[in-house]
Amino acid sequence: MNKLQMRRYAKLLARTGINVKKGQWVIVYAQLDQPEFVEMTVEELYRAGAGLVTVEWSHQPLAQAHYKYAATERLASVEKWEIAKREYMQEQLPAMLYILSEDPDGLKGIDQEKYAAVSAARAKVFKPFRDAMDNKYQWCIAAVPSKAWAKKVFPDLMVNTAVERLWDAILAASHADGADPVREWARHNDALATYCDKLNRLGLTALEYSSSNGTNLRVGLMDKSVFKGGGEETIQGNYYNPNIPSEEIFTSPKAGEAEGIVYATKPLSYQGQLIENFSVRFEGGKVVEVHAEKNQELLEKMIAMDENACRLGECALIAYDSPINNMGFIFYNTLFDENASCHLALGRGFNECVNDFENMSQEELIAEGVNDSIIHVDFMIGSKDLNIVGIRKNGERVQIFRDGNWAI
């Protein structure tokens, strides 16, 4: 891979992704696949002003070993030092950069019951810390290719060629393949902000989705709901970009108001496994039925992680004629596939999608309609004939999407 372009990408993550502040502590989370890029990124973070950068490594084969040999109770337990660490992070508010490179099949064959039980138990302990830090620190999720991931996307290519091809695709999708990605992202954020402004002026109370694949879904919106997209601000006013790439305009729907059925249009990578060709049916805002050709049991366990995992937490709008979708292949990675076309998310909603959220308590936000859950899982529903109609407070119907693309 062109080292100069890798360096420009690392600079983008440091200066536009988390937008590190002078003296700030930054935690980088990464797999073992790309030590050279992680080194570049750490250097760029320091150049951008970071006071300290720490790296936390993970490795899917180790997770396989843990779940094969360790007892459920032992894996689910949370040590005192883990609590102390979260308390310190809550106090210091470090910026966090997640560099993804996982094998989409890296946890295939793992004990699903065990994984679900451990994940749910640990998530409940850590949830109060996450809630306390929400919207108070910068974070960014980005990706680099691993050999296993590249071969999954391009199975007919030699490994090194597949990795090169995936690097090219990641940089193109991330608007990071030019001479000045930082400047390009400033332009991109302005374009996304324009769509947000158009939608927020409409005062929508519901969205209706329909497609020839059988999707027929109505989702209610909160009275104070707002649409977001691209860069965000912490409560302290620090601007950052949580997802690179990002093509989405999103909001959180009103928990408890979803009726109908929706069909996924791309595989869902969840817990290192793929859920394929599935549908989800809602009644009274809750999932009441799911069908999947592959890994239906995993899908069922996902929506049972807690009492609100079966409710919607996000509605995201992305043109079917998007840069990522036009590449013509599936990334098998939610960060990219969710930005190919419209998607929904089950589980936790976003507090920042409520107007004046910073002056509301968590209890008030939940009462407003923000779903509260330990999971947030995106799945793709965009198609070339997807139509979305917005319902305004006066009952007027506004065509938001026509044949998969923006109509406003």
Say if residue 216 is in the same domain as residue 119.
Answer: no
- Residue 139 dihedral angles phi and psi, to the nearest 5°: -150, 155
Say if residue 84 is in the same domain as residue 17.
Answer: yes
Domain total for the chain?
2
In a domain, 196, yes or no: no
Say if residue 16 is in the same domain as residue 157.
Answer: yes
Say if residue 252 is in the same domain as residue 383.
Answer: yes
Say if residue 144 is in the same domain as residue 214.
Answer: no
When pLDDT is averaged across residues 303-325 and rounded to a whole number, the result is 95
Say if residue 11 is in the same domain as residue 133.
Answer: yes
**pLDDT 10s digits, 206-221:** 999 999 999 999 999 9
CA distance 221 to 198: 16
Q: How many C-alpha atoms does 12 have within 13 Å on its Cβ side?
A: 30
Summary mean pLDDT of the chain = 95
In a domain, 179, yes or no: no
In a domain, 58, yes or no: yes
Quick check: 309 and 123 in contact, CB under 8 A?
A: no
CB atoms within 10 A of CB 388: 23
**pLDDT 10s digits, 370-385:** 999 999 999 999 999 9
Residues of the chain by 3-state class (helix, strand, coil), percent to 5: 35, 30, 35
Say if residue 346 is in the same domain as residue 387.
Answer: yes
Say if residue 262 is in the same domain as residue 138.
Answer: no
CA distance 225 to 205: 9
Which regions of 284-327 does DSSP assign to beta strands (E)? 286-294, 312-317
In a domain, 107, yes or no: yes
pTM recorded for the entire structure: 0.89
Give the pLDDT score at 103: 94
In a domain, 98, yes or no: yes
Give the pLDDT score at 76: 97
In a domain, 399, yes or no: yes
β-strand pairing of 286-294 with 273-283? antiparallel
What is the band of 273 on the pLDDT scale with cuts at 50, 70, 90?
A: confident
**pLDDT 10s digits, 126-168:** 999 999 999 999 999 999 999 999 999 999 999 999 999 999 9
**pLDDT 10s digits, 204-259:** 999 999 999 999 999 999 999 999 999 999 999 999 999 999 999 999 999 999 99
Give the pLDDT score at 132: 93
Quick check: 390 and 397 in contact, CB under 8 A?
A: yes
Say if residue 209 is in the same domain as residue 346.
Answer: yes
> Residue 321 pLDDT > 90, yes or no?
yes
Say if residue 124 is in the same domain as residue 66.
Answer: yes
CATH number at residue 35: 3.40.1830.10
Quick check: 313 and 349 in contact, CB under 8 A?
A: yes
When pLDDT is averaged across residues 17-46 and rounded to a whole number, the result is 97
In a domain, 357, yes or no: yes
> Residue 274 pLDDT > 90, yes or no?
no
In a domain, 361, yes or no: yes
CA distance 18 to 402: 34
Say if residue 168 is in the same domain as residue 249.
Answer: no
Range of the domain at 347: 202-227+244-406
Give the pLDDT score at 1: 75
Say if residue 219 is in the same domain as residue 110.
Answer: no
